[in-house]
Amino acid sequence: MNYTVDNDEDGLRLDQSLAARLRDVSRAALQKAISGGGVSVNSKVAVKKNLRLKIGDTVGVDDVLTHAARKTVLAAQDIPLEVLYEDEFLALINKPAGLVVHPGNGNTSGTVANALLHRFGSVSDGFNAQRPGIVHRLDKDTSGALIIAKTNEAHIKLANLFSSRLIRKVYTGFCIGARPCDHELIELPLARSRRDPIKRIVDTRGNPAVTEYRLRAFNNGVSLLEFILHTGRTHQIRVHCSHRGFPIIEDALYGGLRERVLKCAPLERPFAYNIFKCFSRQALHARSLEFRHPFTNQEFTISAPYPEDFRLALEIIDEKQRSLQKA
């Protein structure tokens, strides 16, 4: 078995990465295989189980070790998908909040990947047995535009577009806290937290991460921002916003819960609470994807309609803006 380290595994120890992919093999057996020369990283034998992996590293595992852990065939599941565009090579969907993109942590059902197998019948093999058709990902509670590869050739071409930063990703988010600048380019490197493997932190030893944003509205501690991702690190927007003092609303991991409203002036709090009432998940939506089709050469801009929670919050913002203009 050979695989390439992706964003989710950046900074993981070698034995942790292998354990996540070979769930039917014990950790002791994996560590023994590493020390015995049965695992390679970038075509060189790796003998340290605690070797930290980086994005793009290629890991090779002897067939003897993987024999007992052949890929689990995912079941096709009838999970509704909103398809924004489809052709013979690729598709774009509007992922709802609450739906996990691909299996993980022993869960092999109820994901976008399962839904794809039912909706399209056949998609790309992907770079991971548990991620058919999945070229990139969105957090579970982030809604919006997601590209799906329907063939292996399309998967490679789309992955190359992402790695070359030739796909423009635009997000919309509601934040709570300090007033953001009208326009800013945040360039802060991100790394996996040593204390919490799920969490990312700003760290000079991390990977470069660049987020551009524009302020669309600000009222009573609540800001409406449009983001452009120049890199695609895990939790990038969420970490950068939190670090700047305006975390994404309802982002429990990075300080965006409604307790944050107490830091607003008393007269500002009712408006902020009204925005919070709209959301039961982090207020982040992948609004659009812009790219040149890798086969037809056609320029694409695909926008994902806002879900109900975003529409309600946008109406509140618009009403507030109109009242201020009349005052």
Residues 306, 279: contact at Cβ < 8 Å? no
Map residue 61 onto helix, strand or coil. strand
Could you give the CA distance from residue 251 to residue 173 in angstroms, rounded to a whole number?
11
**DSSP 8-state secondary structure symbol assigned to residue 133:** T
The tokens describing 61, both together, are 């595992």
**Is 139 a residue of the active site?**
yes
Residues 165, 209: contact at Cβ < 8 Å? no
Check 10, 15, 139, 141 and give the catalytic one.
Answer: 139
Could you give the CA distance from residue 28 to residue 194 in angstroms, rounded to a whole number?
22
| Sequence-distant (≥ 6) Cβ neighbours of residue 217 within 8 angstroms | 223, 224, 317, 321
Could you give the CA distance from residue 146 to residue 92 in angstroms, rounded to a whole number?
6
- Active site residues per annotation: 139
